Amino acid sequence: MLQITRDALPQRKGTGYRVEQRGNLEVDLVEAKNRDIKPFVHHPIKDFYWITLIDRLTGYLEVDSVIHKGFEYVVPVIKKMIGKMEKALKTKVKYIRSDSGSEFKSETQQMLKQLGIRHKFVKSGNRLEQANKTFQKIWYRLMRLGRGDIDVLDGQAQAIFNNTLSSVNGRTPLEALETPDAALAKHVREFLQKKKRAKYKVVPLEVGDKVRYLLDKERGKHKAELMYKSYRGKHWSEQVYDVVKYNKYTDSYYVASKYRRREKLLKVPGTDTVSRDAVAAKHAARKKKQSPEAAGYEWKSKN
């Protein structure tokens, strides 16, 4: 139980050539709730959405807002934001990735294709997730400080964000715009190499090792619940499997009739039979002690 309820391992995050040159972006749609804003403004306000667009290398952020997430609202705004981003980066946008939200399909994909921009769906944009969190924190602080109506807060929060030092490339996004791509990419690689991970997450596997595999359907399954509790998730297979073989070309292991990447496998330490039998006996004794018969109560069947 301790193993199958352990948190899922982080998704593999490599730098790749797309992070080594500007013009490769991530886009997202973030909802702003009326209940969070209403106590601090003096006029009616409805829920709305922020469209956030970030360059993965420089960290430069563009933000705009829409009142609905239909294509007639989203498509022209994203197109305008891409133009602003290209002007700031001084290069053409080549690639954009997003989650698989309906607002980024159909007409949005057609618009990107017309602009000659490649588009890819991913589970999450790791560069933009942290940026969204930081931007919202700045925005709500400005709102609580009464720094203006909500119409002007987007620009203020974006300006503060783009003047904030990044731990990823060691510069503010505005400074990064004036820095050569090679220098930024070098700093990004060094940052990723310094990140520490728990030993159990990086321990190497060999053929014959015992492992559990990640249940992708369980990852984030309980996030939709109103009262999310992480301990509800059972992320790993209950059954333990052997590593049958390793494919060095795909860097994956053959487990349970399928090749799986390292981050989707959890190594299971061996257990000696003496310890296993001792634990089983202990649980059996405890169960017997807690039974109604052992407590001296008469056991009556429902029949």
* Residues 75 and 83: beta-carbon distance below 8 Å: no
Tell me the fold of 17-193.
Nucleotidyltransferase; domain 5 (3.30.420)
Q: How far apart are CA 75 and CA 109, in angstroms?
A: 9
Q: Which residue from 75, 97, 88, 87 is spatially nearest to 27, judged by alpha carbons?
A: 97
Q: How far apart are CA 265 and CA 271, in angstroms?
A: 18
Predicted TM-score (pTM) above 0.85: no
Domain ranges of the chain: 17-193, 200-267
Report pLDDT digits (tens) over 31-67.
988 888 877 777 778 889 999 999 999 999 999 999 9
Report pLDDT digits (tens) over 66-118.
999 899 999 999 999 999 999 999 999 999 999 988 999 999 999 999 999 99
